[in-house]
Amino acid sequence: MKVFIGIDIGGTNVNIGMVSEEKQVLDETVIGTEPEKGPENALNRVASAVHQILKAGQKNADYKGMGVGLPGLLDIENGCIIEASNLPGWQHYGITGFFKKHFKIPVFMENDANLAALGEYWLGAGQGSDNMFMVTLGSGIGGALLSNGKIMRLHPMAGEFGHMIIDKKGFPCTCGRKGCLETFVSKHGFQRLVRERLYKHPDSSLQNYALAAITPPIIAAHASQGDMLANRIFDEAGEALGIALSNLINLTGVTCIICGGGIANAWDLLQKPVMSSLEQNVFASIFSGVKIRKAALGEKAGFMGAAYLAANSV
């Protein structure tokens, strides 16, 4: 039985899984990244966790390859990170070289957002789609465009969907520009919307919190309970996301959109304003074939996509 190892390294946790060629998850585990201790410390613990899984694994397993996902800008050819804000000090460390030395199998690496999209395409909400775009909504916003299961990009820095400009006179973004999608839909975007509007809504139940403590899940909980301000914030965020997706759909004609990340857990609140925005802004002849779905795999998407990358690269 051919088996592929998937490793998804994030700033907080590392998700590890073994997936068979028949798409069956055989084993999985999660360990803390502790990135401040440096790449060698973290990767040694990852290698130890993988060895433990292999030791307990099925005797007939034939481990053919490994995929590794990491955040930020990567030098895939040389197997290292160029820049990743949540993995400081990891730049230019030989990630793939480390794993090749420890496991003696082919190792492939890719950006974590791209791998999450591959995971959803292979085993999640994107199964059966000829083309697919996945947007991940969290502290920031990631995006990946696939065609027939292949990542589409013309430049290694491309894919910054969160920095598509929605309002050219809008709020300053962390990237230094104004009006990016992240100023509306990311964690910081939601906090910005609350900060700007809370004083106008003295009756809002969000008044019970310190501004810095108000997070997207809290806003979602109060929106579900009928709070007017919380619902308006989701309406504005959903409209902005819909505008960005409309631009993407009109440009590429992509027909399957997958929404993932922590903020997408409140998809029931985002769906209506997103769809309304799409109906207004996407050409009708294109819109009729578009399907938008919530991601299905959660935190497992990354290691599943990493395993898929290995399976298709060996």
User: What is the CATH number for 143?
Assistant: 3.30.420.40
Q: What is the mean pLDDT of residues 101-113?
A: 94
Q: Does residue 193 share a domain with residue 179?
A: yes
Q: Does residue 265 share a domain with residue 173?
A: yes
Q: Does residue 150 share a domain with residue 92?
A: no
pLDDT for position 146: 95
Q: Does residue 220 share a domain with residue 188?
A: yes
Q: Report how far apart the first and last C-alpha atoms of the chain are (Å, whole number).
A: 15
Q: Does residue 270 share a domain with residue 204?
A: yes
Q: Does residue 243 share a domain with residue 308?
A: no
Q: How many domains does the chain have?
A: 2
pTM recorded for the entire structure: 0.88
Q: Does residue 307 share a domain with residue 290?
A: no
pLDDT for position 268: 96
Instruction: Using the predicted structure, report yes or no on whether residue 118 has a pLDDT greater than 70.
Output: yes
Q: Does residue 110 share a domain with residue 154?
A: no
Return the structure tokens found at 179: 């009006």
Q: What share of the chain is helix, strand, coil (3-state, %, to 5)?
A: 45, 25, 30
Q: What is the mean pLDDT of residues 251-274?
A: 95
Q: Does residue 107 share a domain with residue 95?
A: yes
Which helix (H) or strand (E) segment is 137 a member of?
strand 131-137
Instruction: Using the predicted structure, report yes or no on whether residue 140 has a pLDDT greater than 90.
Output: no
pLDDT for position 106: 97
pLDDT for position 131: 95
Q: Does residue 282 share a domain with residue 134?
A: yes
Domain span at residue 228 reads 129-295
Instruction: Using the predicted structure, report yes or no on whether residue 142 has a pLDDT greater than 90.
Output: no
Q: What is the mean pLDDT of residues 80-97?
A: 91
Q: What is the mean pLDDT of residues 222-227?
A: 97
pLDDT for position 221: 97
171 DSSP assignment: P
Cβ burial of 269 (10 Å; 0-12, 13-18, 19+) is buried
**94-108, 146-160, 211-225, 264-278: which has the minimum mean pLDDT?**
146-160
Q: Does residue 288 share a domain with residue 152?
A: yes
Q: Does residue 285 share a domain with residue 155?
A: yes
Return the structure tokens found at 18: 């073994």
Instruction: Using the predicted structure, report yes or no on whether residue 57 has a pLDDT greater than 90.
Output: no
One-letter amino acid identity for 224? S
* pLDDT bucket at 294, cuts 50 / 70 / 90: very high
Supply the mean pLDDT for the chain. Answer: 93
Q: What is the mean pLDDT of residues 87-114?
A: 94
pLDDT for position 18: 96
pLDDT for position 263: 93
